[in-house]
Amino acid sequence: MSWLTPTLQDLLLEAFWETLIMVGVSALIAVVCGLPLALLLHATGPGGLSARPWLNRPLGLLVNAVRSTPFIILMVAIIPFTRLVAGTSIGTGAAIVPLALAATAFLVRLFENALREVDPGVVEAARAMGATRLQIVWKVLVPEALPGLIAAVTVALVSLVGFSAIAGAVGGGGLGDLGIRFGYQRFMPEVMATVVIILILLVQGLQSLGDWLVRRLSRR
């Protein structure tokens, strides 16, 4: 382990921290923005709680447009927007902007699928009992879909770890950036291997945590 100098240790720790910040903050933004959007799409969809095709279609189209743009292109394409929000286009803070955007679009669809899995009979029963639309959303749809929503967040977190490495490579910092700069450009395969192992452990940990939560919550 002679290659693991104190400087490199510090760098690894810092990179790990940057990755966590990028993934964590963008996931948080994606959940906060994605859930209302998914509920809106679900409710305004055909046969939804209040079907509104004029709202549903453009919204769905927008989400798909963001989702179908490769992340690396999306990141470059929205640089002006990133500058506007973050004040800069380089660094961990700036990387969060495109990451959050991509993750939101990704999560909206996954959330929508989870909501669609809710037994429509339960919604009908709530309607028959005189529930308001908001009550149906917060007391039926969201709680019943919760295991599916958590599973969706898990998938999004894992994807975000991958995206964050791409963001890192173009100046966002984090483990991906470290791997490229030291492992690849300075021919330090040990650093590359360490980065890869940390990423694998991180993804594995997130997945296990998500699976455990889903199991605990499903009650099936």
Positions in the binding site for other proteins (CB under 8 A): 119, 121-122, 124-132, 135, 139-140, 143-144, 146-147, 217-220
Amino acid at 7: T
Q: Considering the complex, state which of residue 2 and residue 220 has its C-beta at the smaller distance from other proteins.
A: 220
Q: Shortest gap between Cβ of 210 and other proteins (angstroms)?
A: 17
Q: Considering the complex, state which of residue 113 and residue 135 has its C-beta at the smaller distance from other proteins.
A: 135
* Straight-line distance from the first to the last Cα atom of the chain, in angstroms, rounded to the nearest whole number: 48
Q: Shortest gap between Cβ of 116 and other proteins (angstroms)?
A: 15
Q: Shortest gap between Cβ of 114 and other proteins (angstroms)?
A: 13
Query: For the chain, what percentages of helix, strand and coil (3-state, to nearest 5) are there?
Result: 85, 0, 15
Q: Shortest gap between Cβ of 111 and other proteins (angstroms)?
A: 17
Per the CB < 8 A criterion, the answer to whether 28 and 104 are in contact is: no
Q: Shortest gap between Cβ of 158 and other proteins (angstroms)?
A: 25
Q: Considering the complex, state which of residue 112 and residue 144 has its C-beta at the smaller distance from other proteins.
A: 144
Q: Considering the complex, state which of residue 150 and residue 206 has its C-beta at the smaller distance from other proteins.
A: 150
**Cα 144 to the center of its chain, rounded Å:** 21
Cα–Cα distance between 9 and 163 in angstroms, integer?
23
Give buried/exposed letters for 166-182 (b at 16+ CB in 10 A, else e): bbbbbebbbbbbbbbbb
Cα–Cα distance between 205 and 4 in angstroms, integer?
24
Q: Shortest gap between Cβ of 119 and other proteins (angstroms)?
A: 7
Q: Considering the complex, state which of residue 73 and residue 128 has its C-beta at the smaller distance from other proteins.
A: 128
Using the Cα atoms of residue 108, residue 114, residue 119 and residue 123 in order, give the sign of their dihedral.
negative
Q: Considering the complex, state which of residue 80 and residue 130 has its C-beta at the smaller distance from other proteins.
A: 130
Closest CA to 21 of 100, 101, 92: 92
